[in-house]
Amino acid sequence: MKNKFPLIEAGKNLFLYRGFTIRKAPRNNMIKCATYLINKRDDSNSYDNYLGRDFALAEAMRTVDHMLKTGGSHAR
């Protein structure tokens, strides 16, 4: 299924998706795989809110879709 919302690659390890920032974190010795951190700026544009971590970019995109669908406090 093709996603109708674009994933924008803003940098080597930085992606923008539906108003959220997804950052690829470096691998660490314990997990042995890269993780993707999901952040979103608050309404006053002064703080970055950490919203979760996933082990694949597609999972991070699904997490954002789910947050927007359920209408959480950061999903605006």
For the stretch 26-56, pLDDT in tens is 887 776 788 999 998 877 776 778 888 888 9
Q: How many CA atoms lie within 13 A of 57 on its CB side?
A: 13
The residue ranges of DSSP E strands in 1-76, in sequence order, are 8-11, 14-17, 20-25, 35-41, 48-54
- Residue 51: the pLDDT is 86
Q: State the average pLDDT over residues 60-64.
A: 92
Q: How many domains does the chain have?
A: 1
Q: What is the pTM of this model?
A: 0.78
Average pLDDT taken over every residue of the chain: 84
Tell whether 1 is covered by a domain: no
Q: Are 36 and 25 in contact (CB under 8 A)?
A: yes
Q: Is residue 63 part of a domain?
A: yes
At residue 11, the pLDDT reads 94
Q: Domain of 65?
A: 8-70
Q: What is the pLDDT of residue 7?
A: 94
Q: Which residues pair with 53 in a beta bridge?
A: 37
Q: 56 lies in a domain?
A: yes
Is residue 75, in this structure, part of any structural domain at all? no
